[in-house]
């Protein structure tokens, strides 16, 4: 059975940029939530204080979207497997479809569907870094802090499949199954290669592939192989241009060999035996 995949850095970064562009400056008219879960959004005082605040910006930590309000409160959202964040007209909110929504005074609403991390969490800005889901994250895969020197130190002394390590959020935040497959293809390395067998040139090839693959994902609008949609409801197209991910049985776009599938850490891993043998 094919497992679902989570949105990764490109998808969340796209939403971050769209929220920054389309939401910044909007004033909150109401915070609406399904009655059975409203108490889980945050403290009652925080929920009440949100009304009247303006969106001051949007951020991202790994695979989590963060909205800031008056630089005092932060809303943390994890899309999980099927989550969506959509900007819609204020009317027509349906709790059966969306558990949480933020209504703005310009008659629009930001609606969250099928989200996780329990549901969006509303926290005081100063408490953001202390959230367990954020505190446990490793260096962000898009961060300039992920230098080759730091990447070498991360791999030093570790063992096991390189793909499993790249997907470990406590080591490098933001990478998942889709883009890790593509990064290793670009680096010409098999996903099951043991970290201990990698030479410095191969490690550099992985590091050199991370940023271009993630940037390509952003440029192509993210992957909508699952449920990801842009803020306006339009899909992304990265999955249509993938070199190996979910292309088992199809010819490699570079060498013509047939793409194969294996499992690494319980996740489907796709590779080209010609390019990554």
pLDDT (tens, 9 = 90+) of the chain, 277 residues, equals 556 678 999 999 999 999 999 999 999 999 988 887 777 788 888 889 999 999 999 999 999 999 999 989 999 999 887 889 999 998 877 777 777 889 999 999 999 987 765 668 899 999 999 999 999 999 999 999 999 999 999 999 999 999 999 999 999 999 999 999 999 999 999 999 999 999 999 999 999 999 999 999 999 999 998 889 999 999 999 999 999 999 999 999 999 999 999 999 888 899 999 999 8
C-alpha dihedral, 220 to 221 to 225 to 226, nearest 10°: 170
- Active site annotation includes 63: yes
**Residue of 8, 11, 13, 182 marked catalytic:** 8
The pLDDT of residue 236 is: 96
Distant-in-sequence, close-in-space partners of 200: CB < 8 Å, separation ≥ 6: 152
Separation between Cα atoms, residue 67 and residue 58, nearest integer Å? 5
Provide the whole-model pTM: 0.94
**Residue of 7, 99, 120, 191 marked catalytic:** 7
The pLDDT of residue 208 is: 98
Separation between Cα atoms, residue 109 and residue 86, nearest integer Å? 8
- Active site annotation includes 200: no
- Active site annotation includes 125: no
The pLDDT of residue 188 is: 98
**Residue of 17, 40, 82, 267 marked catalytic:** 267
- Active site annotation includes 8: yes
Which residue in the block uniquely carries the two structure tokens 């992920």? 146
Cβ contact 113:84 at 8 Å: yes
**Residue of 26, 60, 61, 63 marked catalytic:** 63
SS3 label, residue 184: helix
The pLDDT of residue 1 is: 52
């Amino acid at each position: 059975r094919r497992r679902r995949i989570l949105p990764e850095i490109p998808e969340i970064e796209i939403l971050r940029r769209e929220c920054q562009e389309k939401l910044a400056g909007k004033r909150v008219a109401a915070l609406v939530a399904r009655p059975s879960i409203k108490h889980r959004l945050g403290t009652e005082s925080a929920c009440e204080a949100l009304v009247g605040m303006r969106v001051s910006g949007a951020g991202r930590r790994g695979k989590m979207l963060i909205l800031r309000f008056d630089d005092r409160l932060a809303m943390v959202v994890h899309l999980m497997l099927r989550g969506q964040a959509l900007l819609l007209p204020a009317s027509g909110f349906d709790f059966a479809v969306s558990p949480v929504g933020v209504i703005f005074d310009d008659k629009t609403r930001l609606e969250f569907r099928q989200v996780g991390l329990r549901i969006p969490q509303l926290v005081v800005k100063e408490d953001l870094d202390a959230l367990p889901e954020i505190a446990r994250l490793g260096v962000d895969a898009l961060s300039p802090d992920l230098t080759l020197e730091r990447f070498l130190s991360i791999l030093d002394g570790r063992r096991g499949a390189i793909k499993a390590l790249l997907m470990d959020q406590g080591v490098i935040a933001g990478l998942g199954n889709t883009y890790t497959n593509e990064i290793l293809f670009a680096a010409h390395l098999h996903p099951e290669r043991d970290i201990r067998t990698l030479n410095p040139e191969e490690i550099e090839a992985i590091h050199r592939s991370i940023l271009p693959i993630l940037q390509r994902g952003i440029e192509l609008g993210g992957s909508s192989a699952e449920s990801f949609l842009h803020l306006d409801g339009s899909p992304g197209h990265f999955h249509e241009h993938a070199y190996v991910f979910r292309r088992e049985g199809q010819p490699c776009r570079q060498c013509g060999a047939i793409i194969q599938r294996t499992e690494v850490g319980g996740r489907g891993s796709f590779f080209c035996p010609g390019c990554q043998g």
